[in-house]
Amino acid sequence: MMNDKITTFLNSGLLNKYLIGQTTTSETLEAEHFIAEYPAVQKAYEVLQNKLEFTAQLNAEKAPQSILEDVLNTIEEKPVVTLKSKRTKKWYSLAIAASLAALLFAGSSAYLFNQNNKLSDENQIIVDEIFDLRSDIADNNNTLHQLLEQFKQLNNPETEKYVLKGNTRAKNLKTVAYINPKEKKSMIDVISLPQLPDDKVYQIWAELQDKMVNLGVLSEADRRLQEIPYTQDALGLSISIEPKGGSQVRSKDTPVAEISLKLNE
């Protein structure tokens, strides 16, 4: 990416002045220093040289003879001014040429500057897209790693499978819990949940000897294998209907699904 020092130099027009021989001694040294020191400036200088040569060739067309005759006739009839010397005429022509060249190269420099900025913007877009792609790859690799870990847990001989089916209050409810007491891992697969009013949710609990432990709220959006907190010495699992947002204490209503665990056998 072009640094500020190079950008300021290219935008100053000094390179254009140097190309047409209009720089002072100090400006000449500065221009030659930048050309020798920075490849980007050297490249811009070469482009300007090529543009000058191309423009000169493009405009080097012979004027029609009729135009020349008209001009001569006009001069003979009404001489506008008498030039004092050939040197004055030459200086005047060079001044016009220098002015035109300065305008041409000022435009060329601005064009190059804009093109460089455009290229820098495009490069930044590509960098951002590569970064996003790498981020997506990392996320996919992380998801794949989690799936492999879950697959290993499901196929572990120490993992017990428990199917919780709903009672008459939730006939279509079905979830599957996978518990490995040796690895202290618990997972649940939400297969189906009957629809509830907007102010109610399903909540799963672990039953201990003297209390119920909240393991989280279940949702249709969670219809995938996911980890839940492992509870040491749990006697069973149950699913109840609670107020929206969940509850820290299980309702006194009969659970809609429950099952005993064999972890202590």
Share of the chain above pLDDT 70, in %: 71
> Above 50 in pLDDT, residue 81?
no
Residue from 171, 173, 178 nearest 156 by CA: 178
Query: Alpha carbon of 141 to those of 72, 131, 147, 231: distances in Å?
Result: 83, 15, 10, 29
183 — pLDDT class (breaks 50, 70, 90): confident
What's the CA gap between 147 and 212, in Å, rounded? 30
Give the end-to-end CA distance of the chain in Å, rounded to a whole number: 69
Region 26-55 average pLDDT: 89
89 — pLDDT class (breaks 50, 70, 90): very low
pTM of the predicted model over 0.75: no
**CATH architecture group of domain 160-260:** Sandwich (2.60)
153 — pLDDT class (breaks 50, 70, 90): low
Length reported for the chain: 265
56 — pLDDT class (breaks 50, 70, 90): low
Domain boundaries, the chain: 4-147, 160-260
